Amino acid sequence: MAKQMSRSSYEKLVLELDDLKINKRREVADRLKVARSYGDLSENAEYDEAKNEQAILEAKIAELQYTIDNAEIIEDSNISVDEIGMGSIIKIKKVGTDKIEKFTIVGTNHVDIKNGLISDESPIGKAAMKKKVGDIFIVEAPVGELRFEVIDISK
């Protein structure tokens, strides 16, 4: 299934993948080479650790490659200001309060809660998708249902 993401998110993933393929693979290969030079591989903790690190690295590379290969890029010019979607910058207010929160909807690979970047798969992100200014949406939370009003949508 295609995963929607902004052009900048896509480009960050491509750079990360390149770094893993070029630099990290070389680092792991060097560690394996050094560990092999210690002799008997059956009792070589450094070798086992390097092989494990290699397996984790290759799994991460495969995951990133899959995400990139199946990405649906949402160009900035196509980000709607009429309804919330991937790449939207939203201002929402919890119903019954005056506190307005600002978030940008991003793909799961670029979540950064401290900087207001939330996933389209997070509880708020998922509930907000396709909503318009003035709409109220409900988020299921451990404390119960939270109701939010969409105050603004921008890009």
Burial label for 94, CB within 10 Å (0-12, 13-18, 19+), is middle
Question: Is residue 109 classed as helix, strand or coil in its secondary structure?
Answer: helix
What is the distance between the alpha carbons of residues 53 and 26, in angstroms, rounded to a whole number?
12
Whether residue 76 is predicted with pLDDT greater than 90 in this model: the reply is no
The answer for residues whose C-beta is within 8 angstroms of residue 95's C-beta and 6 or more apart is 136, 147, 148, 149
What's the pLDDT band for 1 if we cut at 50, 70, 90? low
Q: Output the pTM of the full model.
A: 0.64
